[in-house]
Amino acid sequence: MNVLRKQFPDKIAGRYEVIETLGAGGVGVVLRCKDKVLNNNVAVKVLLSDAAEEVATRFQREARAAARLSHPNLVHIVDCGQTEEGLLFLVMEYLEGPTLFDEIRRRRRYEPEEFLPLLKQIADGLGYAHKQGVLHRDIKPANVVLVKQRDGSEQVKIVDFGLAKINTQQDQGLTTGGRVFGSPAYISPEAARGEDLDPRSDLYSLGCLIFEALTGSVPFEGNTAFETMIKRLQEDPPALSTVAGVPFSPELETVISNCLAREADGRPDSAVAVYQAFEEALLFATEEPESSVSVDQPAVLTRRKLSRFSLGLIAALLVSLAGFAITSAANLNLQSVLDGSVGDMDLIDPDRYFERNKRDDSGTVWTSLNGLREHKDLRVLNGRRDIRFLRLRNADLIGSGFTYIARLPLEGLELKDSRIDNRSLAVVGKLRTLTYLDLSNCSGFDDEGLYELRDLKRLEKLRLKRTRTGDDGLAALSCLTHLQDLDLTSCRRITGAGIYLLKGLDHLESLNLTRTFFESRYLPVLCEFPALKRLDLSDISLVDNDIHSIAGLKVERLDLRNNPITDKSLKWLAENRYLKHVILSKAGLTTDGINELARRRPDMKIEY
């Protein structure tokens, strides 16, 4: 490296003072330099004077490609040019942190849940590049840098656009031309064949990257680069579980195998779609299959575990009968207790299983059922007319016992984290007094089941967060004309077309579309909701031009976290006189930009 270092002046372009050599290759060197103008460290890539003309062309292409991009998950290009000595140079932000390749070697492999936030950022950055017409063509763990943030999180930076291709007519002469570009362990089959490429080639490489992160090994590896490429042309990828030696869900195996499809048409449509499929696979992989045992089948008292609620009933009954003769207690039929057929059930104090608490500042008193595990436990609700707001969480509610709630004068019902089915929703649909319904994280029902809710004409608030709700389900909800608050966070089957179907909800004040498939071209539809005041658009890959298109929305609160926007968006937000509260992510924005927004809009609450 010292020999290479002597080829360069102490200061590049009169501005970048060389501090040390960070790395070197056959055609160039990367230097850590001090930017004497901005007084910060930068990384400067310098091409050696004897580099081939083709390498110089690639170098200039990287500069052009990277200059088109501005995203928090892509390395930022500061400057480029040519020194007085005729050396080409490229100035980038200086990144401190290991590469993903380093981390995989250190950890051996990532758990899927651990890798999810990194994949989110990789997909966002790569997806943004594709939207700008830039293909990376060398996606691999070594080109992903992990920068530690102050809060302990890791920010992804995709680097090295040296093989990037810009999809414009003038650059057609810079396509592969029958030659192979990229790293053999990660390139797509079409790249290995020297064909022209589109974004799906990068998605194949992304699949290889994910495969390596989860297993510690690449999907195809031969003794030579040529053998490695032949393997991917002729063989199907191995299963994750086969390589890692640990089980993976079928859903996750499918996501990766789709990314690694030999034909590009078999792969996902975008990098963001890869992430969303990955997240959905994690979300639903743990769902238990429905039991094949009939709910009316008599219980068998073997080693099967009784629910804590049932055990509580038994204990309470035994205590209440303590004054009876031991022989009388011994003759009690346990099954009759579980079946609710004991004539002396009034000896049990049902209130010991209920907990009343306030939900929020509104003062609403909610009743929670302690020890609830299955639908049969709901029999304790029989005859209760004093419960108006009921919270049932983390329980299997599929079965005939769920019908007990139909007899309650409920105004609010929470079923968070529970297992329900379409028949359960049919019961909920009979609660005509219901104004609040929370089905967040519920599994077991589908869009068809949501049609059972059409008669809930008083419903004002509906939570469907992290459920299988899709556009067909939204069609079913379009008749709930009194709906004021709708939360669709992480509903991966929802698109802009589904939101379009809700245009008749004239009373809708709050809408959460975080991590949905809502496409930016449907943003004008949001102007069709006359009462809309609170809008959450986090994590849907909006860019500056998208923010410009909704700058006139008459919303008071807008959440734009985890979208690759820049200070340009802040200028448009400042001009929206209706906006009183905005929530942003710091990545991609500057302190100066946020301060300027605060100066222009002192009346606006800014969170970041």
339/198: higher pLDDT: 198
- Output the six-digit token pair for 228: 């490695």
Q: For the domain that residue 233 is a member of, what is the CATH number?
A: 1.10.510.10
In this structure, are 274 and 375 located in the same domain?
no
318 lies in a domain?
A: no
Q: What SS3 class is residue 131?
A: helix
> 31 with 25: CB under 8 angstroms?
no
Q: Are residues 158 and 180 in the same domain?
A: yes
Task: Judge if 404 and 536 occupy the same domain.
Answer: yes
* Per-residue pLDDT at 354 exceeds 70: no
pLDDT score at 8: 63
Query: How far apart are alpha carbons 271 and 571 in whole angstroms?
Result: 29
Give the domain-ending residue among 78, 93, 108. Answer: 93
Reading the block at residue 542, the tokens are 């909006």
Residue 315 clears pLDDT 50, i.e. is over it: no
369: three-class secondary structure by DSSP: strand
**Domain interval for residue 41:** 2-93
Whether 358 and 366 have beta carbons less than 8 Å apart is answered as: yes
Q: Is residue 529 part of a domain?
A: yes
Q: What is the CATH number of the domain that holds 420?
A: 3.80.10.10
pLDDT at 251 over 60: yes
Phi, psi of 28 (to 5 degrees): -170, -175
Question: According to the model, what pLDDT value does residue 322 have?
Answer: 41
Q: How confident is the model at residue 111 (pLDDT cuts 50, 70, 90)?
A: very high
In a domain, 202, yes or no: yes
User: For position 294, what pLDDT does the model report?
Assistant: 32
pLDDT digit string, tens, across residues 444-503: 999 999 999 999 999 999 999 999 999 999 999 999 999 999 999 999 899 999 999 999
Low-confidence winner among 51-55, 70-74, 100-104, 297-301 (lowest mean pLDDT): 297-301
- Does residue 110 lie within any of the structural domains? yes
Q: What is the pLDDT of residues 124-164, one digit of tens each?
A: 999 999 988 888 888 999 999 999 887 778 999 998 865 44
3-state secondary structure of 215: helix
Q: Are strands 40-47 and 461-463 parallel, antiparallel or unpaired?
A: unpaired
- Contact present, 42 and 12 (Cβ < 8 Å): no
What is the share, in percent, of the chain residues with pLDDT greater than 70? Answer: 78
Which whole-number Å values give the CA distances from 566 to 150, 335, 377, 542, 594, in the listed order? 20, 65, 53, 11, 10
Strands (E) in 107-158, as ranges, are 134-135, 144-148, 154-158
Same domain, 229 and 277: yes
Contact indicator for 4, 32 with CB cutoff of 8 Å: no
pLDDT grade, residue 359 (50/70/90)? low
192-196 own/partner pairs: CB under 8 Å, 24+ apart: 192/229, 192/232, 192/233, 193/233
Across the range 7-25, mean pLDDT stands at: 81
For the chain, how many structural domains are there in total? 4
> Cβ contacts of residue 289 below 8 Å, gap of 6+?
none
Q: What is the pLDDT of residues 567-589, one digit of tens each?
A: 999 999 999 999 999 999 878 89
- Confirm whether 291 is domain-assigned: no
Tokens of 241: 């579980």
Pick from 133, 132, 171, 140: which is nearest to 158 by CA? 140
- Asked whether residue 79 is assigned to any structural domain, the reply reads yes
Mean pLDDT of 311-318: 40
* Confidence category of residue 53, pLDDT binned at 50, 70, 90: low
Torsion, CA 436, CA 440, CA 446, CA 451, rounded to 10: 10
Q: Is the pLDDT of residue 253 over 90?
A: yes
Give 460's contacts (C-beta < 8 A, 6+ positions apart).
435, 436, 482, 483, 484, 485
Q: How far apart are CA 388 and CA 590, in angstroms?
A: 49
Higher pLDDT: 454 or 38? It is 454
Same-domain check for residues 243 and 362? no
CA distances (Å), origin 547, targets 69, 82, 190: 17, 37, 36
* Amino acid identity for residue 486 in this structure: L
Residue 317 maps to a domain: no
> Is residue 334 over pLDDT 70?
no
Among residues 51, 70, 93, the one where a domain terminates is 93
Least confident of 156-170, 345-359, 451-465, 540-554: 345-359
3-state SS, one letter per residue, for 246-313: CCCCHHHHHHHHHHCCCCHHHCCCCHHHHHHHHHHHHHHCCCCCCCCCCCCCCCCCCCCCCCHHHHHH
Same domain, 120 and 66: no
- Phi and psi dihedrals of 338, rounded to 5? -65, -30
Phi, psi of 568 (to 5 degrees): -60, -40
Q: Is the pLDDT of residue 119 over 70?
A: yes
What pLDDT was estimated at residue 28? 72
Domain closes at, from 224, 255, 284: 284
* DSSP state at residue 38: T
Residue 301 pLDDT > 50: no
Phi, psi of 245 (to 5 degrees): 75, 15
- Both tokens assigned to 128: 């943004």
pLDDT of 339 > 50? The answer is no
d(CA 200, CA 135): 9
User: Do 536 and 556 belong to one domain?
Assistant: no
Say yes or no: 171 and 49 in one domain: no
Instruction: Name every residue whose Cβ is closer than 8 Å to that of residue 546 and which is 6 or more positions away in sequence.
Output: 520, 523
Q: pLDDT, tens digit, for every residue of 520-534? A: 999 999 999 999 999
Q: What is the DSSP-derived secondary structure letter of residue 356?
A: E
Instruction: Tell whether 439 and 491 lie within a shared domain.
Output: yes
Q: Percent of the chain having pLDDT more than 90?
A: 49
Distance in angstroms (rounded) separating the CA atoms of residues 479 and 471: 14
Q: For residue 3, is pLDDT > 60?
A: no
Q: Is 400 helix (H, G, I), strand (E, B) or coil?
A: helix
**What's the residue count for the chain?**
608
Per the CB < 8 A criterion, the answer to whether 495 and 520 are in contact is no
Closest by alpha carbon to 208, among 155, 145, 267, 281? 267
- Write down the pLDDT at residue 321: 38
pLDDT at 296: 35
The two three-digit tokens of residue 175, written as one number? 């396509």
The pair of structure tokens assigned to 61 is 């292409």
Question: Alpha-carbon distance 202 to 271, whole Å?
Answer: 8
419 and 330 in a common domain: yes
**Extended beta strands in 288-435, E state:** 354-358, 365-369, 389-391, 412-414
Q: How far apart are CA 13 and CA 327, in angstroms?
A: 99
Facing residues of 354 across strands? 369
Average pLDDT, the chain: 81
287/593: higher pLDDT: 593
Whose tokens are 């950022």? That residue is 121
Q: Are residues 528 and 402 in the same domain?
A: yes
CATH number at residue 76: 3.30.200.20
- Number of helical H runs and strand E runs in the chain: 20, 22
SS3 per residue for 230-253: HHHHHCCCCCHHHHHCCCCCHHHH
Residue 267 domain-assigned (yes or no) = yes
Under a CB-based contact definition with an 8 Å cutoff, are residues 290 and 444 in contact? Answer: yes
Give the integer Cα–Cα distance in Å for 456 and 583: 33
427/508 same-domain check: yes
pLDDT at 5: 52
Looking at residue 56, what is its pLDDT? 67
